[in-house]
Structure 1
Amino acid sequence: MRDYLPEDVDPGSLVTVDGELDTDVLIIGSGMGGSALAWALRNSGARVLVVERGGFLPREPENSRPEEMHLKGRYKNAGSWYDGSTGRPFAPGTYYWVGGNTRFYGAMLPRFRRSDFMEVPHAEGVSQAWPFTYDDLEPYYGEMERVLQVHGQVGEDPTEPPHSTPYPHPALPHEPVIERFSESLRRQGMHPFHTPNAMNVTTLADRAAVTAADGCPDNTGMKSDAENRLLIPALNAGVQLLTHARATRLITSADGTKVVAAEVEHEGRTIRINAHRFALAAGSVNSAALLLKSSSDQHPEGLGNSSGLLGRNYMVHNSTFFVGVNPLRTNRTKWQKTLGLNDFYEAGNGVPYPLGNLQMLGKLQAPMLKPARPWAPMWALKFMSARSIDIYLTSEDLPSRDNRVRVDGDRIIIDWQPNNLRAHHELVSRVTKLVRRSGYPLTFTQRMGIETNSHMCGTAVAGTDPAHSVLDPQCRSHDVGNLWLADSSFFPSSAALNPALTIGANALRIAPSIVDGLDG
């Protein structure tokens, strides 16, 4: 399955008797951002160490059994965060495994639209401009698509930005039920397209093997994730990985201008990892929490927080699971996540303001529906899911200072009130009409709440003005010269598309700045 094995390189064995370990570049977190950065630095000549608080997720038959994931919580290991408005704990939709959340994603890898990098008026506010443009990121999008083996097709989606390189693989074809849905959307004047997807399936048997891979781990290797496509090649090239290691604090120099070490809990003791450059990629919430917990006399409100914005502007998409059911028609689709629709993504042509994105979900099964409808008998959920098409709707969540991450000791507190809901409700309404006209008279919706935060971003926004941003355009701290963030924390806006490809592309973009002037 992979050349590298965890026991091949054990940085923990290099820890001195005094509990110290030295490296040139320390990357904290092995999700899309951390693994893409490790991949980009694999041949830099620098010593690169990735620290991951989890371990390798086992490849086992239970990976593809939705009841294990969704009913038994087999791979849930993030503990509890707390809702700031109620004080109640909740289980976040994030995972501490090598590869991070990408082990569970549906491999949907769109580029953000050109407008997503600009200031855009919305129904209930303004989406902020980014400190760089789509054109600045475009070459790195192409490189990430190549490495992640993305399947796609340019020219179908009117909002698709220009590509300097084609998709490396042709789009995955629709199966018959989804093709029929696509044709119905076209007859209604829409422009459905084949989604950019990194599921490397060829036969129907391949598709059957990964049916549950949107939301569950994949034990086949056909899903491109951060572990198998980015981190493993980086490890084979000499990058090191320390698993089961939780970073608890960053330590600065006496004057507070640079980070000199990270304190990490590993195998029952606290070790110190000394490095020249530090890159956080622990996820938008955990990266902000680590910086907030790293306060000092020079940084009393959290490390690198002179703007007061660290932890603020937390964004997570307004999202709805949408199910259309035809009781008389069975849906035998195996890999359903091949169709998208962006006709409502930008204002214009009867769309008064941006509404958001439609994409198919991987084929829902009864155990996936049960948590949302615990009162429904399994026989009814099986009947429903066998006859449904399953859709994921996302609308942009706008930046707000009041939506934020806070810490209280080891507790992570999330203050979040969704906004821009008028646009999201309009998106759901329009899609309801399209789906019913396509032959699915029964529709059911479930809007996601505070615990569904797989698209979280924005807690350490990048910008050109240190008074109004935490990071500079290269995602380096304005306040701390050798500290970068390589996850979605830097996003000034959330867009309304899956962020994984943008996170990875940006990690490639900023990688040269991290090793610039560093003697390997």
Structure 2
Amino acid sequence: MARALSGRDASVLVLERGEWLPQEKENWDPAEVWRHRRYRTDERWVDRKGHSFVPFMNYTVGGNTKFWGAALFRLRESDFGPVQYPDGTSPAWPIDYETLAPWYDRAEELYHVHGQKGADPTEPDRKPYPHLAVPHEPFIAQMVDRLTDLGVGAFPLPLGLINPAEPGGCLLCDTCNSFPCLLRAKSDADTCGMTPALESDNVALWTGARAERLLTDASGRCVTGVQVNRRGERMRLTAGTVVLAAGAVNSAALLLDSPTHGHPGGLANSSGLVGRHYMAHISTMMEAFYPFQINPTSFQKTVGIHDFYLPGHGRSYPLGAIQSQGRAHAAIVKAVMPGVPMWAADAWVRHGVDWLALTEDLPDPENRVSLTTDGRISLSYRHNNLQVHRELVREAVRMMRRLGSSGVVRHRFKNANTTHQCGTLRFGEDPRTSVLDPYCRTHDIENLFVTDSSFFPSSAAVNPGLTVIAQTLRVADHLLATDLERPA
């Protein structure tokens, strides 16, 4: 949003609760990043059973995108309509693919997306990618050839990387997925959004500035500003338009923590849906073990498989996506499974190939964000659509065994994994069944917008990042054409 408004006739202040993430050698240290949680929050949330846990949250300029794998997918056309599963229906969106397509084009340009048009049979109609697909390394290329021989439709993942394998660009290293980039050559919201935005005189950034409460006028129909705690100093800032983009969990929590006389259940909550319908995908990490082969690959995250993304193979419902993942490290295995000896972890990853199975979870009003009596975030989340996910994992394991794997280790992060969080402030036409309108303006508050993954009414089964970026650019254009063209 700041990048889209930079250089325009608007005065923009970005409030970031964290600081700039330091560029240091520890960025690429698996033990520091995973075992010692050098960059993760030490904040503790509460799960549905009342147990506290540390979420996968990084409060820094760029947020969790500093640690993502930068797989930047468009939603498939069918994802915008209702999708029927054995456990229920994934609801339709208030917009369709054609509505968002022009901003998908802009988002891919902004985030340096590399891909191959037409390689993924489920991909909607589109322009060519801004950059050519990242080539598979030889070991992975051989595996893709074998998959093709088996009738599996492997395609190059759409990846946001800056000048990969070129002088001064991305090194295609083995510390990309879940690591910050020491070279700033990964497309994230800092590198592609905030830093370029600050080159304009009309955009300013405050770090260490946590928004504690949104303030309204007497009518309760207009936000007047934000109560901020900046490194221990509390202040009130005024603004004509407020855009909230704190992530699906924290955006909902901030609205719930801003009740007024007219909004006793939290701001913008006349529907009672603020914080409800939380989704985060059902995901299983898998490592296929090949005892007689060493995997020499450095950058492994280049393969996508959507053979099961749409109904077919005798099923009337889809299963989801399969993707190769960044290389595991022994320190990561130890962090996830502490009981595994380091020598065993090291041997396993040297002979392993890492994959991810990703299935849509369905919106359930009882999967929700709320606040405890002492003000902590409570995340009550129970997985659904598990039968479908188990079918996808079985298909993935079968594929790996056909490639010669002697064993597959599987791990599901369950509730603690908040990396694909979405859905807590769903958008729609009807104020009774949604919190935001199709331009992400709150139905109840005329000058309050939310531009993070909160707006998703369903989660689909691809990474949500590009859709968040595209919708934000769409909302920015709407703001420039409507609210921000009005005299102050």
C-alpha distance 206-434 of structure 1, shift in aligned 2 (>3 A): farther
Could you tell me which residue of structure 1 aligns to residue 26 of structure 2? Answer: 62
Per-residue deviation, 1:47: 0.2
- In structure 2, the partner of 1:181 is 143
Corresponding letter in the other structure for 2:421: M
Q: Give the 3-state SS of the residue equivalent to 1:236 in structure 2.
A: coil
1:203 CA displacement: 6.1
CA contact (8 A) 1:210 1:218 kept: no
Whole-Å separation in 1 of the counterparts to 2:322 and 2:168: 27
2:432 to 445, 464, 467: 467
Match of 2:320 in 1: 356
Amino acid at match of 2:101: E
Q: What residue is the counterpart of 2:177 in the other structure?
A: 214
Secondary structure of the equivalent of 2:323?
strand
Deviation at 1:450, TM superposition (A): 0.7
Shift in Å at residue 206 of structure 1? 7.0
Residues 70-219 of structure 1 aligned to structure 2 (within 5 Å): 70-84=34-48, 86-163=49-126, 165-200=127-162, 201-202=164-165, 210-219=173-182
Contact 2:111/2:187 (8 A) holds in 1? yes
1:292 aligns with 2:256: yes
> How far apart, in 1, do the equivalents of 2:344 and 2:231 lie?
46
Give yes or no for contact 1:207–1:334 (8 Å, CA) kept in 2: no
CA distance in 2, matches of 1:204, 1:189: 37
Q: Distance in 1 between matches of 2:168 and 2:102?
A: 34
Deviations for 1:184-203, whole angstroms, at most 9, x for unmatched residues? Answer: 22122111100100123216
Amino acid at match of 1:168: P
Q: RMSD of aligned C-alpha atoms?
A: 1.4
How far 1:207 sits from its partner (Å)?
Answer: 6.7
| Aligned counterpart for 1:513 among listed residues 467, 478, 482 | 478
**CA–CA separation in structure 2 for the residues paired with 1:209 and 1:437:** 28
- Secondary structure of residue in 2 paired with 1:453: coil
**Cα offset, 1:147, TM superposition:** 1.1
Alpha-carbon offset, residue 372 of structure 1: 2.2
Cα displacement string for residues 100-128 of structure 1 (whole angstroms, at most 9, x for unaligned residues): 11100011111111111111101211111
* Percent of residue pairs bearing the same amino acid type: 44
What are the equivalent positions in structure 2 for 1:452-463 lying under 5 Å apart?
A: 452-463=417-428
Instruction: Report SS of the residue matched to 1:508.
Output: helix
* 1:379 aligned residue: 343
- Which residue number in structure 2 is paired with residue 450 of structure 1? 415
Contact 1:204/1:334 (<8 A) preserved: no
Cα contact 1:277–1:514 (8 A) shared by 2: no
Alignment-derived partner of residue 466 in structure 2: 501
Q: Which amino acid aligns with 2:280?
A: V
Deviation at 1:349, TM superposition (A): 3.9
Q: Specify the alignment match of 1:21 in structure 2.
A: none
Q: Does 1:437 align with 2:402?
A: yes
3-state DSSP of counterpart to 1:314: coil
Larger displacement relative to structure 2 (501-510 or 37-46): 37-46
Is the Cα contact below 8 Å between 2:111 and 2:161 reproduced in 1? no
- 1:404-428 deviations in whole A, cap 9, x for unaligned? 0001242000111000000100000
Q: Distance in 2 between matches of 1:50 and 1:216?
A: 24
| Greater CA drift, 196-205 or 136-145 | 196-205
Question: Aligned residues, how many?
Answer: 482
Residue type at the aligned position of 2:174: T
Tell me by how many angstroms 1:386 deviates. 0.6
| Cα shift readout 1:259-285 (whole Å, capped 9, x = no counterpart) | 001000012111111000011100000
**Equivalent residue for 1:26?**
none
* Structure 1 letter corresponding to 2:155: F
Question: What CA distance in whole angstroms lies between the structure 1 residues aligned with 2:418 and 2:240?
Answer: 32
Alpha carbons 2:41, 2:54 under 8 Å: kept: no
Q: Does the 8 Å contact 1:123/1:354 carry over to 2?
A: no
State the Cα distance separating 1:317 from its structure 2 match: 0.5
Corresponding residue SS for 2:428: coil
- Aligned counterparts of 1:235 and 1:206: Cα–Cα separation in 2: 22
Secondary structure of the structure 2 residue equivalent to 1:174: coil
Q: Displacement of 1:44 after TM fit?
A: 2.2
Give the TM-score normalised by the residue count of structure 2. 0.97
Shift of 1:326: 0.4
Q: How far does the alpha carbon of each residue in 1:290-349 deviate from its partner, in whole angstroms, 9 at most, with x for none?
A: 000001110011101111111000001000001101011000111111000011011124
Instruction: Letter of the 1:318 partner, please give it.
Output: I
